Structure 1
Amino acid sequence: MTKENYSEEFRRDAVELYRDTDGATGAGIAADLGISHGSLTTWLKNAGIPTRISVPPPRRGPPRRDTATSNRPAPGRGRTPANGENQA
């Protein structure tokens, strides 16, 4: 990926658009402008503009089981063969 050089005016306009658009996310503004989210975030930091964090809506329904912390053994770490069983 090549590094794009954006004019100072474009950067200021992007920061202003983000600042003046209620509820907008950095990712959304960046996508609308065809720039990377990282570039916009850098410009916002340089301008002293705090970024908004989008919070997902609350989940509905029963909680899901967290598979990352389940009690299942990791692959290859299951039951070991007992004496007399083949270890093919």
Structure 2
Amino acid sequence: MTESLMKGKRGLVMGVANDHSIAWGIARQLHAHGAELAFTYQGEAFGKRVKPLADSLGSKLLLPCDVEDIATVDGVFAELQKAWGRIDFLVHA
């Protein structure tokens, strides 16, 4: 496999709960292929679990998001717009 398959692509990964999450497995593969990733978490307890995982992939964007609160969803996309201008993909697993 090539490390450049996703080079230059930026994406948001939602749904990581721990290092056994399907979303985490997808994130690791995307990173291995060159993607730059942002992560969300729901609640402080998940934030404490997701932060070291995001850090291990060099992610600088770790954002709180509760999909039942549209303001937090809008806030995530506003932060991504400010940081990156656009995203190329979204993973929710």
Q: Check whether TM > 0.5.
A: no
The answer to which structure has the higher strand fraction is 2
Work out which of the two has the higher radius of gyration on C-alpha atoms and give 1 or 2. 1
Q: Normalising by the residue count of structure 1, what TM-score does the alignment of the two structures yield?
A: 0.28
Does 1 or 2 have the higher relative contact order (CA < 8 Å, sep 6+)? 2
Q: Normalising by the residue count of structure 2, what TM-score does the alignment of the two structures yield?
A: 0.27
